[in-house]
Amino acid sequence: MFARWANLASGIGLVGACTLLLVAGRSEGRTASGWEAGVLGWSRALVLLAFASGLVALGAQTAFLEGHPASALQPAAILRVLLETQGGAMWLVRQALLLLLAAFLVARANVEEGADWRAARSESAALAIAALVPLAGAGHAAASEPGTAIAIVIDLAHLAAAGLWIGGLPALAALLRAAAHDRGADARPYAVRAVRRFSRLALASVGVLVATGIPGALRFVPTVGGLVGTRYGRLLLVKLALVLPILVLAWLNRRRLLPALAGDDPTAGSPVMRRLAGLVLVEALLGLLILAVVAAMSLTLPALHEQPVWPFGFRFSSAALLAAPDGRNRVLIGSSITVLGAVLALCALRLRASRVSVAASAAAVAALGLGVALPPLAIDAYPTTYVRPPIPYDVASIASGERLFQQHCAPCHGLGSAREGPAARGLPRSPADLLAPPTRAHTAGDLFWWTTIGFPRNGMPGFGDRLSDEERWDVVNFLRALGVSRGARTLPARLGVERPWLAAPDFVFGVGPMQRTLGEYRGQRTVLLVLYTLPGSQARLAGLAAEHNTLTRFGLEIIAVPTDAAPDALRRFGAAVRILYPIVTEGAADIVTAYRQFTDAPHTEFLIDGQGYFRTRWTSNEPGRDVEQLLVDVRRLAAEGAITVTPPAH
Amino acid sequence: MRVRTVVLLVNLALMIGLGCGYLWWGREARRLARQVAAVETGEREYTADGIIRAVLPELRVLVVTHPEIPGYMPPMTMGFRVSTSLRTIEVGDTVRFTARGTPPNMTVVAVDKKTP
């Protein structure tokens, strides 16, 4: 951890120091020249630190990859890591660039001429930035897919911007401190020019840091649960908490102290310069703390891959309004007040006079608005609320969940549309209606918590000691399917203007020895899933077979599933009816069990778009739907492309 | 030597090094592509399992749904020309078949029913 921090901090510091020399321009006078020599010495020390911490980090990485600490000192093991891993290749490139940079910094070259000075300083800055590339190429960004190259470029831009700003602060503080002293008065015009140029560069760097930090954070911490419920997310919060005071300090320095330096007069602004030097040093120390947090983050599993543990007993969700619709007006009024606060805050930014009082009023109004709007949105939350189901939302899990539900839950909750089973009598409160909308509004993690711990005040027992984790997730997946069953039955028979909202559970199906999954068609084709019953469906299936070529041309795959799950489904058609689209002979039973939540008809056709959402549902109980109409819908879907986020597989 | 000349030479060396690496990479990729292409040409033979979807004796064609045939074809339903007898083959039969030829002109030379 310390080696990572030292490696990162030295890399960032090198970029800042080398760039500040270039930005400040060629030094004139005794003090400025002394400062330039000092910064060069500081850079040499940083290169040494970067090299040494790199060696320690390589040893630690070798020990980690080889599985025992002694490997850190074994040349063969180190060589394996260097030559056979991406991290090793990046390490070699970084050390080579550092060596080259060291050569430039150590060589006592003659830079009397302006062009030579610029060439030497530019090369140092360029090499320092180039040495950050391998850091980005060996971090979390390099391991993220898809979009690895973009993630690395974003990470590199973030590191470089941090280097230009945070890395330059110690050297800048040293210049200001030297110039603020009576003996260094000759360097004041130089220091004022340097700090002004640096300030512009830092402002641009902050813009880059924000622009690259947001996509980076969203990539690795995509949910609120991940932000407060994982170690990586909490480290990100600590980092942001440290960034805030550093930004406030930077803003104060730029708005208050920088103008007070007042021109290039040699005697001007000495006390201000001393104060500015102190505050810049505080900024630099905060920056070092941020780098320590970043080093810890680089050694922590990103929130994306960790199951979050929600630390609060409540969360905010619009689902709360489903149970208590009276709160809608309060939320509306509160959010309007919050917007008013935001408008006031924007006005405060534009104002010159009374800015502080207007900003304080804006904060008070926004807080009042949130105080009004948020309470009705609060609902109970549990440690598992944001846990991602480890078991995929597929028909095998749903079918297993239904079997477990019938055995353990139906005695109280009832079966099908019945709200109560025989054992519900005598309970303190009626069992929850699992078909009601609030069930749909809860997260899978909420359902898992209730299934595990129970609902003691309602008399519901927990099943944590009777069912395994996997079985409880199966029950949860069944409840998720049950929760959307009413809505699924209202899906239109023709493609309308509704946004897709209901994900089709994935399944594995076999046609003889060929095995495929519904998920394989995502991003490739639209699927018409046909649940059929012979002999009633025979004519319809033959009609689809006749138009199969045309439908295929427009990106449709038909998958037909016999509702009786007959393994000899193909033979039943005989040679007379030539059907060449997949007729499922393996896996039909689970598909029918799960999809029966969405239909009772003997023949149902679900049109599933390229993203895996149900779009239409037509049953044989409804008026006939000719293949021409189907073709129109398929063509519309083919032209539509992705119009919402792809549903998760879990 | 002047510093700016040294910087110029160093950068030139770095660029030449990068360029040579890029060219070497491209040459390696082309060499591997040629090797793959060389393996893929010429007469080949594949054996796979499948389930019969249609029998067209008049065209001597068999329509089979088969899993992925490594190195040849993804899982799909496809018609194959057949040079062997089709008399005992029926829709719904699970079979093991052998296709021979130069892609894409492959012919099924053997079809054996698998016991259910």
Q: How confident is the model at residue B76 (pLDDT cuts 50, 70, 90)?
A: very high
Q: Give the strand pairing for B105-113 and B94-102.
A: antiparallel
CA A137 vs. chain centroid, Å, equals 19
A584: distance to nearest CA of chain B, Å?
Answer: 11
**Chain A residues inside the 8 Å CB shell of B2:** 110, 113, 116
CATH class of B44-113: mainly beta
- Could you count the other beta carbons within 10 Å of the beta carbon of residue A409? 22
The domain segmentation of chain B, as residue ranges, is 1-41, 44-113
Whether B75 sits inside 8 A of A514 (CB atoms) is yes
- DSSP-based three-state secondary structure for A144: coil
Q: Do B94 and A513 touch (CB under 8 A)?
A: yes
- The verdict on a CB contact (< 8 Å) between A119 and B8 is yes
**pLDDT of B116:** 62
> Looking at the partner chain, which of A115, A516, A582 has a beta carbon nearest the beta carbon of B4?
A115
A to B CB pairs, distance under 8 Å:
72
Could A575 and B90 be called an inter-chain contact, meaning their C-beta atoms sit closer than 8 Å?
Answer: yes
A459 close to A429: Cβ distance less than 8 angstroms: yes
Q: Three-state SS string across A510-551, please?
A: EECCEEEEHHHHCCCCEEEEEEECCCCCHHHHHHHHHCHHHH
Which chain B positions have a beta carbon within 8 Å of A573's beta carbon? 91
Contacting residues for A138 by C-beta, under 8 A, at least 6 apart = A86, A87, A90, A91
In angstroms, the CA A225 to CA A235 distance is 14
Q: Do B51 and A512 touch (CB under 8 A)?
A: yes
Q: How many CB atoms lie within 10 A of CB A70?
A: 10
CB-neighbour burial class of residue A600 (10 A; exposed 0-12, middle 13-18, buried 19+): exposed
List CB contacts (< 8 A) between B94 and chain A.
Answer: 512-513
> Taking CA atoms, what residue in A is nearest to B57?
A575
- Answer yes or no: do B77 and A578 touch at CB < 8 A: no
A177 Cβ neighbours under 8 A, 6+ residues apart: A274, A277
B81 touches chain A (CB under 8 A): no
Bond from prior residue into A535 cis (ω within 30 degrees of 0): yes
Tokens of A358: 């207007």
Helix axes A86-106 and A75-84, enclosed angle (nearest 10): 100
Query: Within chain A, which residues score under 50 in pLDDT?
Result: none
Structure tokens at A606: 């679900």
For residue A65, give how far its alpha carbon lies from the nearest alpha carbon of chain B (Å): 28
pLDDT of residue A591: 96
Interface of A with B in 119-148 (CB under 8 A): 119-120, 122-123
State pLDDT tens for residues A490-549. Answer: 999 998 888 888 999 999 999 999 999 999 999 889 999 999 998 899 999 999 999 999
Task: Tell whether the torsion through CA atoms of A295, A300, A302 and A303 is positive or negative.
Answer: negative
CB-based burial of residue A621 (10 Å sphere; 0-12 exposed, 13-18 middle, 19+ buried)? exposed
Q: Find residue A614's DSSP bridge partners.
A: A608
Q: What is the CA radius of gyration of chain A?
A: 33
Owner of token pair 């995502």: A522
Q: In angstroms, what separates the C-alpha of B52 from chain A's closest C-alpha?
A: 9
Residue B2 to residue A570, Cβ atoms within 8 A: no
What tokens were used for A443? 């997260």
Residue to mutate among A97, A112, A511, A559, with most B CBs inside 10 A, is: A511
> Cβ separation of A579 and B77 shorter than 8 Å?
no
**A355's tokens:** 């800015």
3-state secondary structure A472-517: HHHHHHHHHHHHCHHHHCCCCCCCCCCCCCCECCECEEEECCEEEE
3-state secondary structure of A411: helix
Backbone angles phi, psi at B89, to 5 degrees: -90, 135
- Residue A500 in contact with residue A644, Cβ under 8 Å? yes
Contact, A528 vs A605, CB < 8 A? yes
User: How is B42-91 classified by DSSP, letter by letter?
Assistant: S-EEEEEEEEEEEEETTTTEEEEEE--BTTTB-SEEEEEEE-S--TT--T
Residues linked to residue B110 through DSSP beta bridges, in sequence order: B98
Alpha helices (H) in A107-187, listed in sequence order: 114-130, 133-137, 140-143, 148-165, 169-180
β A514-517/A526-532 pair status: unpaired
pLDDT, position A527? 96
Inter-chain contact A514–B91, Cβ cutoff 8 Å? Answer: no
- Residue A437: predicted pLDDT: 63
Give the nearest partner residue to A568 out of B7, B8, B92, using CB atoms: B92
Mutation target to probe the B interface, by most B beta carbons within 10 A, among A117, A521, A570 is A570
- Are residues B89 and B55 in contact, defined by beta-carbon separation less than 8 angstroms? yes
Q: Which residue of A has its CA nearest to B66?
A: A514
Tell me whether residues A575 and B55 touch, CB distance under 8 A. Answer: yes
Interatomic CA distance for residues A162 and A167, integer angstroms: 7
Q: Which pLDDT belongs to residue B97?
A: 95
Chain B residue whose CA is closest to A122: B7
**B residues 13..52 contacting A (CB < 8 A):** 49-51
pLDDT at residue B40, rounded to an integer: 67
Helix, strand, or coil (residue A45): helix
Q: What residue has token string 């239909």?
A: A599
- Report CA Rg, chain B: 26
Instruction: Give me the phi and psi of A170, to 5 degrees please.
Output: -60, -45
The structure tokens listed for A535 are 């002999």
Q: Which residues contact B49 (CB under 8 A, 6 or more apart)?
A: A512, A513, B66, B67, B94, B95, B96, B97, B114
CB within 8 Å: A581 and B8: no
| CB < 8 Å to B90, chain A | 571, 575
**A412: three-class secondary structure by DSSP:** helix
Least Cα separation, residue B105 to chain A (angstroms): 21
Picking from A117, A514, A568, the nearest residue to B67 by CB comes out as: A514
Q: In whole angstroms, what separates CA A497 from the centre of its chain?
A: 30
Residues of B in contact with A40 (CB under 8 A): none
pLDDT for the residue A354:
78
A512 at interface of B, judged by CB pairs closer than 8 A: yes
Write down the pLDDT at residue A276: 86
What value of ipTM does the predicted structure carry? 0.75
CB of B91 within 8 Å of a chain A CB? The answer is yes
What pTM was estimated for this model as a whole?
Answer: 0.75
User: How close A551 gets to chain B, by Cα (Å)?
Assistant: 15
Identify the pLDDT of residue A260.
Answer: 73
Beta strand A526-532 pairing with A604-608 = antiparallel
Q: Which chain B residues touch A113 with a CB distance below 8 Å? A: 2
- The whole-number pLDDT of residue A469 equals 94
Facing B50 at nearest CB: one of A120, A122, A513 = A513
Restricting to A residues 514-543, those with a Cβ less than 8 Å away from any Cβ of B are: 514-516
